[in-house]
Every structure is written in C-alpha cells, then in structure tokens.
Structure 1
C-alpha cells in the first residue's frame, strides 16, 4: 500500500483544507485522478492540494463544491487559507479589511492592492522576488473578495497622480491599460470611489506618506502605515484624529471622482493606447 501523507488538520488552514478535501473525496469514492477529471484539473494538482504542497484557488474551490456537493464549504474556507499565507505582519491588515465598514486609503506610488489587476500585482510582487509568484499573486488577489460581499465596505481611494505615470514594467501596454480599465470600472459604483491627487495640488496633507484608515461598525477606527517588511496599525485616538483630518484635506485637494476618471482615461489613452498588432501596409 502506498504511503499516504495524512495531514494534521489543526496545523494550519491550508492543512485543514487539504485534510477535508481528501476526506470528502474518499467519502465520494473517488480517486484523485477521477476527481481531477470532474473538476477539469489534473489528479496531480488534487494530490498537491490534499498534501498542502499547493495553494487552492477560489476557482478550484468553487469547482470542488460543485463536484462534491459540499454546499459552498470549500469556497468559504479558501478565503481563510489564502489570508493565512500572507506575510505574518500583514495578516492583521487583511483582517481589518475584512471587518471594516469603511476603508479610506491614500497611496502615493502604487494602486491599492484591493484594486490591482493580476498583471499589476505580479509586477509589484515580482520586482525583486520571483519565487512562488503565482501563489503570492493569488493570495493578494484573494483580499479583493471583500468587495464581492453582500454588504461590502465603502472604499475611498486617493492616488497620487504619479501612480498613473509609473509604468510597472508589466510588459505589453495592454497590461497597464487593463489596470486603468479596472479603476474606471468603478466609476459608477458608489461603494468604490477613486480620486486622484493632482501634481497641481502642491504641498498637501499626505506629504508624509501613504496610509490607510479603517472604520468599523462598533470598534474604534484604526490607522495603518507601512514600512519595509513591517506594518504599523494603531488605534491611538490622537493618531486616528490626525489622519482623519489629513484625509479630509486630501479629499478636498483631490480631483472629484468624475474628474479623476477623466484624468485616468486621458492618461490611459495618451500613454497606454491600444496598439494595432496588424497594421495595414
């Protein structure tokens, strides 16, 4: 008999996922290959996920729920699994994002992770480290699931204008264009509001750097700032009051949501225009 690697389901969310996947598969009388065929994945991938050597994705989880009739169990679990794979110092932030009723963010150099496309996220995460890039990208994108909740948080995002001109080196112009299109897709969504702080604003209240402000239904608000490889959340009332005031001033100095969309659209067309791959001779 083959040596079966039995996971300890209490070791981590990833181990628990693998343990439950194997348990449900065996209860259905299926081999890894047969389940893979049902899901349109390889049996090898099923085996890697069952032994916690590969991260499951939301799409994989949805197919498992459909194939094994598990009533959304794996789709609910995968969010916890992916969040557990975030750097330890960032896991608390992901929890704040998931619990917040309002997220106010000011970013000077990058599009906020909640609104990044896959190509943009890969460029950011892979700038210096290509190891496990697919998994790390999937983990980052999983944070965006909070925007699909029945009652999603209200998101206000202010981007420095320089973000629009920072080519992330993601290859084809189509990739950067896709990021702009993602931002524009929220133009008429009252739950996600994108504003641009123009260069013309001059000295502004966010000159000290990027920060996020999380507000909750009953708990005190929390301010989050970030350094290299570490995050700094705080509920200090004085800090929260100061950053709330700064954010109000940043919103006042930024372009309106409508004018911001027009600027994003302009930069997209001027700098990342679609290229005709088959020009007429």
Structure 2
C-alpha cells in the first residue's frame, strides 16, 4: 500500500472510530442504532465503524449527526474522508469547494463533477491514472455524488458553468450514458442557482483552450482560482493572479451562447444521439443503398474469372 492509500485508509478509520465513540456515548448499540436510523442497517454501520466496505456518504454523516446530536461534527469530518479519495493535489481545492459561496467554471473536456450523473462520473473516473482498482473507482463515484448533495441544501452555492461545445458532443460512456447526462444538464434550466452556457466551436481559438478553470468565492468574499489538466491541478491564491484568471473566465462567458440558446444546443446534441440510435426510414433507406453499392464494388473488385477447363489433346 502506497503512502496515499495509507493516508486515505487512516482517515476512513478515524471517521469510523469517531462514529463508534459517539454512538457509545449516546448509549446506543450498533443493532439498536441501525434500527433507529432509516437507510443505515446495523451491517452497514459496522462497516463504517471498522473502516471497511464503501466509504460513508455525506447523507450517512448527516443522519448520524442528527441522531447522535453531534452538532454537525461527523459531516465536517466527512469532508476529509472524501478528499482523501482523490489525488493529494486536488484536496485543497475540494476543501474550498465544499464551502464556497460562488463557483465560476470553464471546462473543455468533461461536465464538472458537481453536475455529473453516476454513470457519466464512473466513465470519467475510470480513466484516472491514480485509480487503484474497481473498489477505489466506486469510492470515487460515491464521493463525487456525495459532493453534489450540497447543491440541494440550504447553503447551495451559485454555480456558473461554461462548457466548450466538445463537452456535449463527446459521447463519454456511450450514447445512453451521454443522453442521460445531457438531460441532467437540461434540468439545470429550472434551478435559479445554476447557469450552464455553451462556448460553440464557431468561436475558434481562444485563451481558455489550455485547460479547465474554476474561480471560487468563499463566504468571507475571498477569491481563489484553480486550473486543472489531465493529471495535475494548481490552486492560485495570489490576488493579482486570481484577478487575471477571473477576467479570463468572464471573457469565456461573454463569448458563450446565452442560457436559452445553450439549452437548445444541448437538446440538439441529444437529438443527434437519438438519430444515430434510431434512424428514420429515409435515413435507413439511404444507408442500405450505400451499403449495397459498397458491397457491389467489393464484389466486382474481389472476383476473378475462373479459367475454363480445357481437356488435354490425346496423343
């Protein structure tokens, strides 16, 4: 086990020991607490306390806090559990993200983690170089979904997202997974705290092509920036440099389509997936004609006239 894996395991175990300590202090046995809490069996509670199985979710931590009357202690500790699921270089950003008041994001490759569906997240996270095994993949998926719970809470941040058009055109996870992901993006149209815009291909080259960018505003009105590539991220806290990145984001947003037109483009991308899966009768007829012509050409090129058998003359 490498140092990163050991660090992660130690935090999960610490969370479990804290749950056990608080449970015993409140006078509960595992089986009794499991019967008391909806959605958390005694078996699952035993896994959490031992630090085995899937890591606890934010919902688990909040439910335990409410039942054990901890004042939110476990939900606060859970932030450290989820941060250890991902590479160390991403942890400072994730800590800030968990309490940010506003988030401004520009992404060039994938939908941001806070807006990913489960299957889409699994397809994206499967590509990580730091991924250890399938169990680690599921831990990361659960952690990512747990981070999304904050979007539905009373302290939900304002989220402004600009996506390069490539994000909605690349069918990550396959057509079905991508279709559900696009539908999930469309649902944000009814959330007054979330804005999604598309930067179309027609904008050609631009200063944001180098990678993804996020500008966070904390509750004390401090701004930080975060840039990320395939296997590395950088947190920027210097006010002057953060200001430059904020201007870069504002320019990207200004060049992007308005929200309504962006939603129309997402719908068009969904329709494209549907047409590819269920072609119309005219499309099917054209495809069959093309295939027939190609087959005929291959048949002509590949055929050779067989020599006629001629009997040898008798001596």
Under TM normalisation by the shorter chain, which class is it?
Answer: 0.7 to 0.9
Provide the secondary structure at the position in 2 that maps to 1:222. strand
Partner of 2:92: 92
User: Do 1:83 and 1:143's aligned partners in 2 also have CA atoms closer than 8 Å?
Assistant: no
TM-fit CA distance, 1:188:
2.9
Q: Which of 15, 22, 25 lines up with 1:17 in the alignment?
A: 15
Cα distance in structure 2, aligned partners of 1:70 and 1:98: 20
Comparing 266-275 and 93-102, the one that deviates more: 266-275
TM-fit CA distance, 1:68:
5.5
User: Do 1:36 and 1:43's aligned partners in 2 also have CA atoms closer than 8 Å?
Assistant: yes
Matched, 1:50 2:54: no
TM-fit CA distance, 1:115:
0.9
Partner of 1:222: 224
Provide the secondary structure at the position in 1 that maps to 2:272. helix
CA RMSD of aligned residues (A): 3.0
TM-fit CA distance, 1:107:
0.5
Cα distance in structure 2, aligned partners of 1:274 and 1:207: 29
Q: Which of 136, 140, 144 lines up with 2:140 in the alignment?
A: 136
Cα distance in structure 2, aligned partners of 1:71 and 1:232: 33
TM-fit CA distance, 1:50:
0.7
Q: Which of 256, 268, 271 lines up with 1:269 in the alignment?
A: 271
Partner of 2:284: none
Residues 21-36 of structure 1: pairs in structure 2 closer than 5 A: 21-26=19-24, 31-36=29-34
Q: Name the CA shift for 1:73/1:216 in 2 (closer, same or farther; >3 Å).
A: closer
Cα distance in structure 1, aligned partners of 2:248 and 2:173: 32
Provide the secondary structure at the position in 1 that maps to 2:189. coil
User: Do 1:79 and 1:142's aligned partners in 2 also have CA atoms closer than 8 Å?
Assistant: no
Name the TM-score, length of structure 2 as normaliser: 0.72
Cα distance in structure 2, aligned partners of 1:60 and 1:102: 26
How many residue pairs match? The answer is 264
User: Do 2:34 and 2:45's aligned partners in 1 also have CA atoms closer than 8 Å?
Assistant: yes
Any gaps of 5 or more consecutive residues in structure 2? 1-8, 279-315
TM-fit CA distance, 1:31:
4.7
Comparing 200-209 and 233-242, the one that deviates more: 233-242
Matched, 1:252 2:250: no
Cα distance in structure 1, aligned partners of 2:44 and 2:58: 14
More helix by share: 2
Provide the secondary structure at the position in 2 that maps to 1:147. helix
Instruction: Flag the structure with larger Rg.
Output: 2
TM-fit CA distance, 1:79:
3.8
Cα distance in structure 1, aligned partners of 2:259 and 2:109: 19
Partner of 1:8: none
TM-fit CA distance, 1:63:
4.8
Provide the secondary structure at the position in 1 that maps to 2:98. helix
